[in-house]
Chains A and B, each alone.
Chain A
Amino acid sequence: MLRRISPGWALIAVPSLWLLLFFLIPLALMAGYSLRPDMQGPLFALDWQPTFANYLNILGNASYLRLLAISAGIASLVALCGIVLAYPLAYFLVFRAGERASLFLTLLILPFWTSYLLRIIAWKIILGPNGVINTLLMSTGVFQEPLRLLLYSRTAVVITLIYVWLPFVALPIYAALQRIDRSVLEAASILGAPPPLAFLRVTLPLSMPGVVAAFFMVFIPTMGEYVTPLLVGGSGGSLYGNIIQTFFSQGLNWPLGAAMAFLMLIGALLLSLILTRVVDVGRMLG
């Protein structure tokens, strides 16, 4: 479809410039900023010595590293629980829902499109010592004291995040299951595989790209999460994202915050790279 080249370049010029100015350059600036020794002087004045002190600071600080590990653990836990809960949903929609499958899918996805912040706030109203569940349990006399599990804590953060991501997790698994060639499943059944075996040996392996996509699509944004811990995490529920947010919002130490953000960016990019090696992201999202 090669016609004249010029209109194509004219059309792509503004979008490219926009992405360069407000996406790529800011990320590069952030990387540069993370090498600053302090916050003295304007950024464009190049009178400072680049240093890796901020990175050494992070790597030498046990509490930062611990929080990074906890955040990665929580992000994995949320992604895995989401997958376990969402897989049967996707399986149902693809193989058992019949003609109403698209209606069922829309109903499932709809909550994901309502405000993310409001859904977290809803959980703040539900959990907590004076939350809906605890007051309900105490008013019925089942418990005398608020249930510890439901207090603002990392557990509350995990529950809330699983809830927030669940409809989203089902999507890539749904797409992967839908692409399985039905004749392969028929072959398994004709050759005498009982349904559970056919599922384990045929359906599950063929749907793995969707499962992997779902994992990363939850893991990456959860690593950057700081609002949920802020709202339902309580005093001990902070995650890696919360330190970055604090460094910037309170103007404490931007270069150190930039270094932490840059480390997270590198992690996110590496994981995205693995993701694109495993699955066709465009088709997953489309």
Chain B
Amino acid sequence: MSKKPSPWLFLYYLVLLVLLYLPIVILFLFSVNDGIAFTFPMKGVTGHWYQDMLRNRELLEALRNSAIVALSSSAAASLIGAAAAIALMRFKLRGRSVFIAVAVLPLLVPFLILGVALLILFSSLNIERSLVTIAIAHTIVAFPYALLILMARLADFNPFIEEAAQDLGATYFYTLRKVIMPILAPTILAAWLVAFTVSFDEYVLASFLNGGSPTLPVYILGQMRFANRFPQVIALAVVVMVASLSLLLLAESLRRGGAKTELKPVEPG
């Protein structure tokens, strides 16, 4: 197969890339546009939506709520993800494939259905909707990501290291703490960052399960009705978008870095 460069395909790629990024650029322009409605040509450039944003208490509270939900759900998802990944990759467990199928299912079930199902669960148990109920829902949807990232990492690091530790007298849980966890740490961090971003952006589950104190996406959608407050909401959205992209790039570099420090078995002869 010849690897000849293809200018037409490259051009097509570039055009689609521009189209993909254009709406994001427009969001940014909207946040510095001097006016409530965004029409072309722009009226002028201003930073005052960003200043308003810092004074808007409801908005900052929504940001705080999102941070609480994302921090707790991502910590839980990456920890149970790590436990499950180690169990699945290092032990012969009956029902392994059933567990994986169920764990990956939240990626295939529309969030609307999961939201409805959890709403029925919590209200039939008389559990008040709150940030906790949102966080629980987010662990379910972040869990498959964490599990798959960690299983991929465990698949390519050598179980002989753990066996050596145990042959030298370490108990399993001592090995887990002193050998497996340090090797897995960068990948767990990467899984945690991905889970954090999934939770931070999630709207559907949060809208079904919030108890009146909204997370950021729920707040943002609620503000769509008020044209005069909208630009400052977009300003915050731009800040959040830049922050979450940075986190994801960090996660990607951790995941790749983690995979590079692996210990390979010595090839015989």
Tell me the complex Cα distance, A107–B10, Å: 14
Contact of A114 among B24, B220, B224 (CB under 8 A): B24
Q: A7-B91, A119-B24, A223-B110 are in contact. Are A88 and B9 (CB under 8 A)?
A: yes
Tell me if A121 and B237 are in contact (CB < 8 A). Answer: yes
Tell me the complex Cα distance, A15–B102, Å: 11
SS class, residues of chain B in contact with chain A: helix
Contact of B112 among A4, A113, A126, A226 (CB under 8 A): A226
B93 at the interface (CB under 8 A from A): yes
The interface centre, meaning the residue of A89, A115, A225, A285 with most chain B CB atoms within 10 A of its CB, is A115
A167 at the interface (CB under 8 A from B): yes
The distance from the CB of A271 to the nearest CB of chain B, in whole angstroms, is 8
Tell me the complex Cα distance, A18–B103, Å: 10
Give A264's nearest chain B residue, CB to CB.
B113
B30 at the interface (CB under 8 A from A): yes
Tell me the complex Cα distance, A241–B105, Å: 19
Please encode chain A, from 83 to 118, with 1 for each CB lying within 8 Å of some chain B CB and 0 for all others. 001001101110111100000101110110111111
Tell me if A113 and B245 are in contact (CB < 8 A). Answer: yes
Tell me if A29 and B121 are in contact (CB < 8 A). Answer: yes
Tell me if B117 and A261 are in contact (CB < 8 A). Answer: yes
Tell me if A43 and B87 are in contact (CB < 8 A). Answer: no
Give B203's nearest chain A residue, CB to CB.
A117
- Which chain A residues (190-205) contact chain B, with CB distance < 8 Å? none
What chain A residues lie within 8 Å of B10 (beta carbons)?
92, 96-97
- Which chain B residues (1-15) contact chain A, with CB distance < 8 Å? 1-6, 9-10, 12-13
A185 at the interface (CB under 8 A from B): yes
Q: A19-B103, A30-B120, A130-B39 are in contact. Are A264 and B12 (CB under 8 A)?
A: no
B136 at the interface (CB under 8 A from A): yes
- Which chain B residues (156-175) contact chain A, with CB distance < 8 Å? 159, 166, 172-173
Q: A23-B140, A108-B20 are in contact. Are A258 and B108 (CB under 8 A)?
A: no
What chain B residues lie within 8 Å of A11 (beta carbons)?
83-84, 86-87, 91
Q: Number of residues in B with C-beta < 8 Å to the partner?
A: 90
What chain B residues lie within 8 Å of A261 (beta carbons)?
112-113, 116-117
Contact of B203 among A1, A23, A116, A257 (CB under 8 A): A116
B258 at the interface (CB under 8 A from A): no
Tell me if B110 and A264 are in contact (CB < 8 A). Answer: yes
Contact of A8 among B87, B221, B224 (CB under 8 A): B87
SS class, residues of chain A in contact with chain B: helix
Tell me if B1 and A185 are in contact (CB < 8 A). Answer: yes
Q: Number of residues in A with C-beta < 8 Å to the partner?
A: 95
The distance from the CB of A107 to the nearest CB of chain B, in whole angstroms, is 6
Contact of A118 among B17, B87, B137, B237 (CB under 8 A): B237
What chain A residues lie within 8 Å of B112 (beta carbons)?
224-226, 241, 244-245, 261, 264
Tell me if A1 and B92 are in contact (CB < 8 A). Answer: yes
Tell me the complex Cα distance, A26–B4, Å: 54
What chain A residues lie within 8 Å of B27 (beta carbons)?
118, 121-122, 125
A248 at the interface (CB under 8 A from B): yes
Tell me if A285 and B148 are in contact (CB < 8 A). Answer: yes
B124 at the interface (CB under 8 A from A): yes
What chain A residues lie within 8 Å of B23 (beta carbons)?
119, 122-123, 125-126, 163
A14 at the interface (CB under 8 A from B): yes
Tell me if A166 and B1 are in contact (CB < 8 A). Answer: no
What chain B residues lie within 8 Å of A269 (beta carbons)?
108-109
Q: A19-B143, A92-B12 are in contact. Are A132 and B17 (CB under 8 A)?
A: no
B187 at the interface (CB under 8 A from A): no
Q: A130-B37, A221-B110 are in contact. Are A115 and B103 (CB under 8 A)?
A: no
What chain A residues lie within 8 Å of B123 (beta carbons)?
43
A67 at the interface (CB under 8 A from B): no
- Which chain B residues (213-229) contact chain A, with CB distance < 8 Å? 217, 220-221, 224
Please encode chain B, from 13 to 44, with 1 for each CB lying within 8 Å of some chain A CB and 0 for all others. 10011011101101100100000011111000
Tell me the complex Cα distance, A189–B4, Å: 14
B67 at the interface (CB under 8 A from A): no
Give B41's nearest chain A residue, CB to CB.
A139
A2 at the interface (CB under 8 A from B): yes
What chain A residues lie within 8 Å of B143 (beta carbons)?
15, 18-19
Q: A23-B140, A89-B16, A224-B110 are in contact. Are A257 and B148 (CB under 8 A)?
A: no
Contact of B24 among A5, A22, A122, A286 (CB under 8 A): A122
Give A24's nearest chain B residue, CB to CB.
B102
Please encode chain A, from 19 to 36, with 1 for each CB lying within 8 Å of some chain B CB and 0 for all others. 100111111011001000
The interface centre, meaning the residue of B2, B102, B120, B203 with most chain A CB atoms within 10 A of its CB, is B120
Q: A30-B117, A248-B116 are in contact. Are A14 and B6 (CB under 8 A)?
A: no
12 A/B residue pairs, CB under 8 Å, sorted by A: A12-B87, A22-B140, A108-B16, A113-B245, A119-B24, A122-B24, A125-B38, A182-B1, A244-B112, A258-B120, A285-B148, A286-B148
Q: 3 smallest A-B Cβ distances: which pairs?
A: A224-B110, A8-B91, A43-B124
